[in-house]
Amino acid sequence: MDFNVKRLASDAGVFFTRAVQFTEEKLGQAEKTELDPHLENLISRADGTKIWTEKILRQTEVLLQPNPIDHTGARIEEFIYDKLDKKLPSRTTNAELLGQYMLDAASDFGPTTTYGSTLITVGEYQKRLGGAEREFLQTSAANFLAPLRNFLEEDWKMIAKEKRLLENRRLDLDICKARMKKAKLAEAKAVAAPDFQETRPRNYVLSASASALLSEEVEKAEHELRVAQTEFDRQAETTRLLLEGISSTHLKHLHCLQEFAEAQATYFAQCHHFMQELQRELNGCATVGPLHSSAVVCPNPISSALLPGPSLPGVVVSSDSQKPSTLNMQQKQVPVTGTRRAKVLYDYDAHDSSELSLLADEFITVYTVPGMDPDWLLGERGNDKGKVPVTYLELLS
């Protein structure tokens, strides 16, 4: 217990002495040892890396988890599972939750109704969008957020510790320099004092004793200065080697940034593709009669096949299996007889070899044949021939 008290008192004394030295340096009343310019640049670069890494990490977390309340809860949950050394369970995304609500609503309204079948289609795609989002969040957290957080919570703590130790060694060195300067100044004054000019034995003995004490004080100050200089140089070298590792940190974060951008591009591409498929599914619904009629045939929800090509609003893509055989041409957009010219309104990608791909604003020749679905025409462009949807065309006289 006595040892701890003595050490506590000693540490308090050292802390107070350093505080006095630091204050005097700030006030311009004491000299300050300047660090090597290269070391100063390394410290400045490390500080900038820490500041910008914090900002990028914080804003990326906001981007991936926009709701601050959910974000705070997510961080607490991550902390608890990390302390328990357990894997964090996957959280349901908002899109997945919306999709599930749509499926539940369809079950309540009736999956065979127009509204119910559409809810099923949209709900399934919402769940697929949510799954893509969850995968993107997990990939970003593992490949981008985790390395940045590890740098701040581990690497930077070590750097900050060594920087504080270097600052303490510098303050100790300046304290020793100031003490050495005061000791030499006191010795010089003692040598020049009138007592040294006295011839009386008593005064001479006293002056000689004071001189010896001052010389001993100077030697002690010189020794402490050498020790402080050695410790400062050693700590400066240790800190320099540690700070030079910031370049490796930048390279690591560069690789993580590339992985984050790739994951983000993949996620947006998946979303775009899912929405294209959803448009095709919705536009493929065949409505007979008014909208409130129950005579609507929609495709089964969600094909796992990836359909190429863009889809535009207002485009109707039909198939023979989705149309009643009694549907006549008078119920369609324009009856077509003979060969006519037509202007293409939208791009269209052929789904198979029997269809003809179209480009917006081009002109083609179209005609019909007996027994052909009135939603489709046969189109010719040069030597190319195939079925084309009527709704993609503007028939010319």
What CATH number corresponds to the domain at position 50? Answer: 1.20.1270.60
Say if residue 109 is in the same domain as residue 13.
Answer: no
Structural domain contains residue 319: no
Residue 366 pairs in a beta bridge with: 340, 379
Provide mean pLDDT across the span 234-259: 94
The structure tokens 């005064």 sit at: 203
CB 365 within 8 A of CB 395: no
| From 15-19, 42-46, 102-106, 258-262, the region with the lowest mean pLDDT | 15-19
Write down the pLDDT at residue 383. 87
Q: Is 211 helix (H, G, I), strand (E, B) or coil?
A: helix
Provide mean pLDDT across the span 120-147: 93
Provide mean pLDDT across the span 124-128: 94
pLDDT, tens only, 369-383: 877 888 889 999 988
Structural domain contains residue 289: no
Task: Look at the chain and count its residues.
Answer: 397
Write down the pLDDT at residue 314. 39
Structural domain contains residue 283: no
Q: Cβ contacts of residue 364 below 8 Å, gap of 6+? A: 341, 342, 344, 356, 358, 379, 380, 381, 388, 393
The range of the structural domain enclosing residue 67 comes to 31-276
Structural domain contains residue 201: yes
Q: Percentage of the chain with pLDDT > 90? A: 42
| Pairing mode, strands 296-297 and 286-287 | antiparallel
Q: Cβ contacts of residue 171 below 8 Å, gap of 6+? A: 18, 21, 22
Q: Cβ contacts of residue 209 below 8 Å, gap of 6+? A: none
Say if residue 101 is in the same domain as residue 215.
Answer: yes
Say if residue 187 is in the same domain as residue 163.
Answer: yes
Structural domain contains residue 292: no
Say if residue 253 is in the same domain as residue 134.
Answer: yes
CB 366 within 8 A of CB 392: no
Reported as a pLDDT band with limits 50, 70 and 90, residue 16 is: confident
Residue 320 pLDDT > 90, yes or no? Answer: no
Average pLDDT of the chain is 78
Q: What CATH number does the domain containing 385 carry?
A: 2.30.30.40
Q: What backbone torsions phi and psi does residue 113 show, to the nearest 5 degrees?
A: -80, 165
Residue 280 pLDDT > 80, yes or no? Answer: yes
Structural domain contains residue 281: no
Say if residue 118 is in the same domain as residue 143.
Answer: yes
Say if residue 12 is in the same domain as residue 63.
Answer: no
What are the distances in angstroms from CA 85 to CA 78, 81, 268?
A: 10, 6, 33
Of 239, 256, 276, which marks where a domain is finished?
276
Structural domain contains residue 310: no
Alpha helices in 141-192 (DSSP H): 146-150, 156-191
Say if residue 257 is in the same domain as residue 123.
Answer: yes
Say if residue 263 is in the same domain as residue 349.
Answer: no
Write down the pLDDT at residue 178. 87
* pTM (global) more than 0.85: no
> Which position has the higher pLDDT, 276 or 74?
276
Structural domain contains residue 304: no
Say if residue 352 is in the same domain as residue 255.
Answer: no
Radius of gyration of the chain (CA): 41
Q: Cβ contacts of residue 86 below 8 Å, gap of 6+? A: none
Say if residue 388 is in the same domain as residue 257.
Answer: no
| From 10-14, 81-85, 183-187, the region with the lowest mean pLDDT | 81-85
Say if residue 72 is in the same domain as residue 91.
Answer: yes
Number of folded domains that form the chain: 3
Say if residue 342 is in the same domain as residue 206.
Answer: no
Whether the CA torsion 63, 64, 68, 72 is positive or negative: it is negative
pLDDT, tens only, 330-367: 333 444 456 889 999 989 988 888 899 999 999 999 98
